[in-house]
Amino acid sequence: MDLLQEIKEKTTSIPDPKVRTGVEAAVTHIAVAERWFQRARSEYSSEMFNDVIYRSNQAFEGMLKEAFSVLKKQDASKKTPSEIEKSLKADKIFTSRVLDRFENYRTEWRNPSTHDHRLVFNEQEALLAIISVSAFAVILIDQLIESIGYDEEKLGVQANKREILKRLGSVEDKTIFQLVAGLLEQFGLELFKHGDPGEMKEVEILGRLAAFLETLDLGISTSREVKSDAQRRLAPDLIVTRDSESLIIEVKKPQAYKQEYAASLTQIQRYLELTGISEGIIYIPPSSSSQGIQITQLSKQFNLGKEYSIYAIEPKAV
């Protein structure tokens, strides 16, 4: 895998042009770090490997500034890199996956190179620094895309809440599955107001879906991570909860769902077993704003006396 190319492709999917420009500037430092690395190799210059680290650090700091502006909703221009690092860490804003990569780069590369000017890095260390900061950028960009989608959808739902609730109809006496199924149908209609879902990353759809479900004030909360009974950290796409009821939603693009049907089913079934949640939905967004939904029960199983049901909620065939 070409990590730099992966980063560039993800960057083009950032919905906010200002944030996209800032991330592109940070990514440029990774590209320059790679060029320094190749030059250091060809010229047998160990000193140049330090330049790789310094450029990687600039990419790291640039990504943190963009994260601060998006996730904290604050101006990062008047904050030092150290202040930004401490703030993001203290407020526990990063997802666990982003936090792991953040801590790795910060501990292994950023801090040593910043606080000890006598350090000389070798080829292996320079390569690992590029890989580490690139991995951090890849997963952080996903979180930025999701967060921007969440904020945009929240504003849209707030403006159209009365109309959406009117279309949804009565929610009294509905199970969480019945309620969420109706909400997913309404979400499909709203999603097209922000562009073609087929062009959106799954993380953007997830951010928008979480905002849609939460902003309607129907007593629904969402989460992305949970610990199983065995204290294993799990990351389903979305865990939806209302009162004492919960279900899991996995979002799949139409083409991915067709190609990975068996894997998708196994994945969500495993999440249900590990969390003890009894219902799961594989949600496939519509490809047309005029499409309704169809609900298909894919699996119904019993394990240790508990029933687990998995459904597909997808667009009706035209």
- Helix-strand-coil percent breakdown of the chain, rounded to 5? 60, 15, 25
- Grade residue 176 by pLDDT with cuts at 50, 70 and 90: very high
What mean pLDDT is predicted for residues 141-157?
A: 96
Using one digit for the tens of pLDDT, what is the confidence trace for 188-236? Answer: 988 888 888 888 899 999 999 999 999 999 999 999 876 655 556 678 9
DSSP β-bridge partners for residue 151: none
What CA–CA distance (Å, rounded) separates 182 from 167? 9
Tell me the two tokens of residue 288.
């047309």
Domain range list for the chain: 3-144, 169-315
* DSSP three-state, residue 157: helix
Spatial separation of the C-alpha atoms in residues 267 and 279, rounded to whole Å: 13
Helix/strand/coil for 234: strand
Q: Residue 217, by phi and psi: left (phi above 0), alpha (psi -120 to 50) or beta?
A: left
Coil, strand or helix: which one is 245? strand
Residue 42's identity, in one-letter code, is S
Half-sphere exposure of 247 (CA within 13 A, CB side): 20
Mean pLDDT of 61-67: 96
pLDDT at 305 over 80: no
Q: Pick the range with the lowest mean pLDDT from 40-49, 63-72, 146-155, 297-306.
A: 297-306
If one compares 57 and 112, the residue with the highest pLDDT of the two is: 57
Pairing mode of beta strands 238-242, 220-223: antiparallel
Percent of the chain with pLDDT over 90: 61
Q: What is the pTM of this model?
A: 0.90
Q: How far apart are CA 27 and CA 43, in angstroms?
A: 25
What does the alpha-carbon distance between residue 168 and residue 190 come to, in Å, rounded to a whole number?
A: 12
pLDDT tens digits, one per residue of 236-252: 999 999 999 999 999 99
Say if residues 246 and 240 touch (Cβ distance below 8 Å). yes
In CATH, what class is 3-144?
Answer: mainly alpha
Mean pLDDT for the chain?
Answer: 89
Pairing verdict, β 245-251 and 238-242? antiparallel
Cα–Cα nearest to 124, from 61, 57, 53: 53
Question: Residue 93 pLDDT more than 80?
Answer: yes
